DNA sequence: TCTGGGGTCCTAGGACCC
DNA sequence: TCTGGGGTCCTAGGACCC
């Protein structure tokens, strides 16, 4: 049996956690650069605010409806997420953190009759100890647990937890469950399934197995089998090392000069390098890309990328900043207004399996020590407390974050003061 | 003025090898 | 005259997730 624990409207719930006067009020959270809506409280959903809606088009609507708007505060959400996950680990060590607001738990060996109560206990514990509302779906496969979770979220009568243990219950629910709401069925698959006359999850289950495999590949077949109660997707309790690591951002204001682009890029390279070291890996392939704003059809457009293969894999911030800066100078063209730049690291290997190059001229042990010092200083004094000169101070290329909430739980100066 | 960012997996087809 | 057959690797593109 699997349980899927999913935080309700997670980002909106985090914003509300330290602003209790916002309970019952509509809240939306915007994407990076305050671009579009990525999270909504139930009240905002009820007002018809669409997921992914561009913020600038809704300025008026949000004002009229008294919606509280926030820039995304990933420092806050990340910290609250850690608290939720820590709480869940108290229930079982067999846990897979699936995303910032979701985790799968393996519940093997638990008596079936107790499962729904167990789910409700999880809901109560997270609410009491972290303050975030969650829903729990329990079923024999991950895909069914996802279904159960949606049922729990939608029906208040479930009191936060839904158990789909028997086939009868599953059939009953799946006959009313839209096929597009199944985990792993996206827009394209929905179109093709609708064309086959498939509307509900049950319709999908009743398609012949061979047809499913032919039309929707092995991925579709796994989903089909999971709906039938056959586990095909396992719990991944040790997170796999990432095969690509990317940092890219749009700018608040478009940028013209190569100096400012270089400064932004240096910061993204530093972020990528730190992510790489956190998973104890090195990368030997670097991609740098940049482009103008494709929405501004009135302006000249330019987009380019460059790929570099290093002779030896690295995780050094210094080296990656240097390499990416060189690549930028190769692809930068003056006379354009740039909207976004980014860096992608690939060909990632564990740091103790790096193929040593005969032609290497870098003092690797020394660099590793410097990086170790850099990481421990930044862990203690905050991200980017110690930085490479090229990173600058980001005065000109900042992204937009006009409605950022305080880092209530991670920055001493932002901790709430309570007058008693 | 303004439209997110960061990932994974699978397949088809071409190049190349013997 | 005959137009094999089996395999690997790589890449681009498509689909999906949160």
pTM more than 0.75: yes
pLDDT band for position A395 (50/70/90)? low
The distance (Å) linking the CA of A394 with the C1' of C15 is 36
- Mean pLDDT check: name the lowest of A1-5, A254-258, A383-387: A383-387
Superfamily of domain A2-163: Reverse transcriptase/Diguanylate cyclase domain (3.30.70.270)
Instruction: Assign domain A245-391 to a CATH class.
Output: alpha beta
Percent of chain A clearing pLDDT 70 (strictly above):
99
Per-residue model confidence (pLDDT) at position A197: 95
For chain A, the three-class secondary structure string (H helix, E strand, C coil) is CEEEEEECCHHHHHHHHCCHHHCCCCEEEECHHHCEEEEECHHHHHCCCCCCCEHHHCHHHHHHCCCEEECCCHHHHHHHHHHHHHHHHCCCCCEEEEECCEEEEECCCCCHHHHHHHHHHHHHHHHHHCCCCEEEEEECCHHHHHHHHHHHHHCHHHCCEEECCCHHHHHHHHCCCEHHHCCCCCHHHHHHHHHCCCCEHHHHHCCCHHHHHHHHHHHHHHHHHHHCCCCCCCCCCCCCCCCCEEEEEEEEEEECCHHHHHHHHHHHHHHHHHHHHHCCEEEEEEEEEEEECCCCCCCCCCEEEEEEEEEEEECCHHHHHHHHHHHHHHHCCCCCCEEEEEEEEEEEEEHHHCCCCCCCCCCHHHHHHHHHHHHHHHHHHCCCCCCCHHHCCCCCCCCCCCCCCCCCCCCHHHCCCCCC
**Whether the predicted pLDDT of A309 surpasses 90:** no
**Whether the predicted pLDDT of A233 surpasses 90:** yes
Instruction: List bases in chain C with any atom under 7 Å of a protein Cβ.
Output: 14-18
Superfamily of domain A167-227: 5' to 3' exonuclease, C-terminal subdomain (1.10.150.20)
Average pLDDT over residues A170-199: 95
The distance (Å) linking the CA of A347 with the C1' of B15 is 22
**B11 nearest neighbour residue (CA to C1'):** A217
The distance (Å) linking the CA of A309 with the C1' of B17 is 25
Footprint of strand C on the protein (CB under 7 A): A 98-102, 146, 182-190
The distance (Å) linking the CA of A244 with the C1' of B7 is 8
Nucleotide nearest to A146 (CA to C1'): C17
Average pLDDT over residues A115-130: 97
Instruction: List bases in chain B with any atom under 7 Å of a protein Cβ.
Output: 1-11
The distance (Å) linking the CA of A188 with the C1' of C13 is 14
Tens-place pLDDT, residues A337-354: 999 999 999 989 999 988
Per-residue model confidence (pLDDT) at position A60: 86
Per-residue model confidence (pLDDT) at position A297: 83
Tens-place pLDDT, residues A236-252: 988 888 989 999 999 98
Every domain of chain A and the residues it spans? 2-163, 167-227, 245-391
The distance (Å) linking the CA of A215 with the C1' of C2 is 38
Nucleotide nearest to A346 (CA to C1'): B7
pLDDT band for position A400 (50/70/90)? confident
Percent of chain A clearing pLDDT 90 (strictly above):
76
């Amino acid at each position: 049996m699997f349980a899927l624990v999913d935080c309700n409207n997670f980002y909106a719930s985090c914003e509300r956690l330290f602003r209790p006067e916002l309970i019952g009020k509509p809240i939306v959270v915007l994407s990076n650069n305050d671009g579009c809506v990525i999270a909504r409280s139930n009240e905002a959903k009820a007002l018809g605010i669409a997921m992914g809606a561009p913020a600038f088009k809704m300025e008026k609507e949000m004002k009229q409806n008294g919606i509280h708007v926030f820039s995304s505060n990933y420092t806050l959400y990340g910290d609250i997420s850690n608290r939720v996950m820590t709480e869940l680990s108290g229930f079982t060590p067999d846990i897979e953190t699936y995303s910032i607001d979701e985790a799968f738990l393996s519940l093997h060996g638990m008596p079936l009759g107790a499962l729904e109560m167990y789910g409700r206990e999880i809901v109560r514990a997270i609410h009491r100890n972290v303050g975030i509302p969650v829903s729990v779906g329990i079923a024999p496969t991950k895909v069914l647990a996802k279904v159960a979770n949606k049922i729990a979220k939608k029906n208040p009568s479930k009191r936060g937890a839904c158990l789909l243990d028997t086939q009868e219950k599953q059939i009953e629910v799946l006959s009313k469950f839209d096929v597009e709401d199944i985990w792993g069925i996206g827009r394209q698959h929905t179109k093709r399934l609708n064309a086959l006359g498939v509307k509900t999850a049950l319709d999908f289950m009743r398609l012949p197995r061979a047809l499913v495999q032919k039309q929707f590949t092995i991925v579709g077949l796994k989903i089909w089998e999971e709906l039938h109660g056959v586990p095909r997707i396992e719990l991944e309790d040790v997170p796999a090392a990432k095969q690509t690591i990317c940092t890219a951002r749009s700018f608040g204001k478009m940028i013209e000069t190569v100096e400012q682009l270089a400064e932004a890029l240096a910061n993204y390279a530093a972020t990528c390098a730190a992510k790489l070291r956190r998973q104890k890996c090195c990368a030997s392939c670097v991609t740098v890309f940049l482009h103008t704003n494709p929405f501004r059809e009135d302006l000249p457009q330019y987009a380019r990328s460059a790929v570099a293969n290093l002779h030896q894999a690295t995780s050094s911030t210094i080296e990656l900043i240097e390499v990416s800066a060189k690549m930028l100078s190769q692809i930068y063209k003056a006379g354009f207004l740039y909207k976004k730049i980014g860096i992608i690291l690939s060909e990632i290997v564990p740091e103790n399996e790096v193929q040593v190059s005969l032609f290497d001229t870098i003092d690797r042990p020394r660099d590793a020590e410097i990086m170790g010092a850099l990481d421990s200083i930044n862990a203690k004094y905050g991200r980017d407390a110690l930085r490479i000169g090229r990173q600058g101070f980001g005065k000109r290329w900042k992204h937009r974050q006009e409605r950022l909430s305080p880092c209530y739980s991670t920055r001493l100066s932002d901790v709430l003061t309570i007058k008693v």
